[in-house]
Amino acid sequence: MRLTSIVSLSAVLLLAAPVAAQGTTQAGTASTSAAQVAKPTDAEKKVCKRLATSGTRMAERVCLTKQEWQKVEEEAK
């Protein structure tokens, strides 16, 4: 039990380090003008769906762009 919590805490800390580093770089670039920041178009925005997986009652969350979802639907046909 204790080993599991230590391993979990270690994993969280390892994953949090890059996020903290990104926060400092974004703060430095916040002074740039808003015109330089490109906003994603509707086709580039992520759409998340919950997909049923076999062998479990838990649904899997999958996030893809609209174009990627269209490709998935075409391949499924």
**How would you write the chain as a 3-class SS string?**
CHHHHHHHHHHHHHHHHHHHHHHHHHHHHCCCCHHHCCCCCCCCCEEEEEEECCCCCCEEEEEEEHHHHHHHHHHHC
Residue 21 C-alpha from the chain's centroid: 17
For residue 44, what pLDDT is reported?
82
Task: Say whether pLDDT at 3 is over 60.
Answer: no
In the chain, what percentage of residues exceed pLDDT 70? 55
For residue 43, what pLDDT is reported?
72
Task: Say whether pLDDT at 60 is over 70.
Answer: yes
Domain segments of the chain as ranges? 41-77
For residue 72, what pLDDT is reported?
92
Rounded distance between C-alpha atoms, residue 73 and residue 77, angstroms: 7
Confidence bin at 12 (pLDDT 50/70/90): low
Task: Say whether pLDDT at 18 is over 70.
Answer: no
